[in-house]
């Protein structure tokens, strides 16, 4: 396939490296200077250093060329950039006079709930496409998600992902096309479940990082993961997801990786909070987006409005908002009344 990956952060770059040996891949970045550096050095030193590009991988800052020549788009912007990127695609489609307009087959790889709206990525997509001039045809789109560190994908290490859509035929076809090498892709039609698992596990990773940073031990981390999975499942099912999705790659699998792996940005946020560092300074130090910071507040608010009990999520949101300290947060959770499991 001709694949355009829109966004040259760590994850977009990793996917481009992984897919380029088997497909015609074009990696698009908005920053012309960054594109020049990547084409010169044949790597992305800003977000994914020491991961060389395959010879066939193309890198460009020309949005129109990247999009109109593609059979499939992979939207690799952070969640905050998803809506602007979709608007840009919609505008291109409306202005296009080409006989082959921008493709309607696309995937997104961001995880979380949109700040201020509390919407999952597919709801953001629907918001934009419902107002598109060419919205008469149902688009084929979905989420590519699961337990995956960008660096390991770029290194060619074995990784299993889920392609979740509401159209299992589309999911199966695209999963089959992308599947290969050390990248294993499973098709799934529980889009809500896949997105909720990918979003809320980042919140739990912050909690796990705090626990590890305070030296609370493996027992505490195991308890956090277990009860965190309960919260993720409870929230997801209230939104219409299936319970079994949360025992798969996008639920338990992603939770384990993000809460225990040293490459986890969200776990790193928790570790630094436990050291007493300021959240703003932490985010600046990371140099990458830690989606759990924004998602925690949105999930906590949405859960409260729906009457869903999510004590760990609420505690993390309070910590991030500066209403409690790490040790006070742990004390509040441990002081909760005993109950049945």
Q: What is the DSSP track for 192-218?
A: HHHHHHHHHHHHHHHHHHHHHHTT-HH
Q: What's the token pair of residue 75?
A: 């939207």
pLDDT for res 188: 96
In sequence order, what are the residues at sequence separation of 6 or more whose Cβ sits closer than 8 angstroms to the Cβ of residue 214? 274, 326, 327, 330
Q: What integer pLDDT is reported at residue 317 of this predicted model?
A: 96
Residue 201 is a catalytic residue: yes
* Whether the Cβ atoms of residue 104 and residue 93 lie closer than 8 Å to each other: no
Annotated binding site for substrate, which residues? 111, 265-266
Where do the domains of the chain lie? Answer: 2-189, 199-335
Catalytic residue among 23, 83, 122, 201: 201
Q: What is residue 307's DSSP assignment?
A: T
pLDDT of 136 reads 47
pLDDT of residue 137: 55
**DSSP-assigned letter for residue 263:** T
Instruction: Note the pLDDT of residue 133.
Output: 43
What number does CATH give the domain 2-189? 3.40.50.720
Per-residue pLDDT, 16 = 98
Binding-site residue ranges = 7-12, 30, 47, 111, 146, 148, 150, 201, 254, 264-266, 289, 291
The yes/no answer on whether domain 199-335 falls in CATH 1.10.1040.10 is yes
Cα–Cα distance for residue pair 266/196, rounded to 1 Å: 16
Residue set of the binding site for NAD(+): 7-12, 150, 265
The segments of the chain whose pLDDT lies below 70 read 94-103, 131-139
- Tokens standing for residue 31: 């920053």
């Amino acid at each position: 396939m001709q694949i355009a990956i829109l966004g040259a952060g760590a994850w977009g770059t990793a996917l481009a490296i992984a897919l380029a040996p088997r497909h015609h891949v074009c990696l698009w970045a908005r920053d012309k200077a960054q594109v020049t550096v990547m084409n010169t050095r044949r790597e992305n030193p800003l977000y994914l250093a020491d991961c060389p590009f395959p010879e066939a991988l193309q890198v460009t800052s020309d949005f129109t060329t990247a999009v109109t020549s593609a059979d499939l788009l992979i939207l690799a912007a952070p969640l905050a950039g998803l809506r602007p990127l979709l608007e840009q695609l919609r505008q291109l489609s409306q202005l296009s006079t080409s006989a082959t307009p921008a493709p309607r087959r696309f995937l997104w790889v961001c995880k979380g709930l949109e700040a201020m709206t509390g919407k999952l990525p597919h709801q953001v997509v629907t918001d934009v496409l419902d107002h598109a001039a060419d919205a008469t045809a149902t688009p084929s789109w979905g989420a590519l998600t699961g337990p995956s560190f960008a660096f390991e994908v770029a290194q060619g290490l074995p990784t299993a992902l889920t392609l979740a859509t509401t159209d299992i035929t589309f999911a199966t076809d695209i999963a089959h096309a992308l599947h290969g090498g050390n990248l294993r892709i499973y098709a799934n039609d529980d889009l809500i479940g896949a997105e909720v698992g990918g979003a809320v596990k980042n919140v739990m990773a912050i909690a796990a990082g705090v626990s590890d940073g305070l030296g609370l031990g493996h027992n505490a981390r195991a308890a956090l993961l277990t009860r965190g999975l309960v919260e993720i499942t409870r929230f997801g099912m209230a939104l219409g997801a299936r319970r079994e999705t949360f025992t798969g790659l996008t639920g338990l699998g992603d939770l384990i990786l993000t809460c225990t792996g040293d490459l986890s940005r969200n776990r790193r946020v928790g570790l630094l909070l436990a050291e007493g560092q300021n959240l703003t300074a932490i985010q600046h130090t990371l140099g990458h987006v830690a989606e759990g910071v924004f998602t925690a507040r949105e999930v906590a608010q949405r859960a409260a409005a729906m009457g869903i009990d999510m004590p760990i999520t609420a505690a993390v949101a309070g910590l991030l908002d500066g209403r409690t300290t790490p040790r006070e947060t742990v004390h509040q959770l441990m002081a909760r009344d005993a109950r049945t499991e």
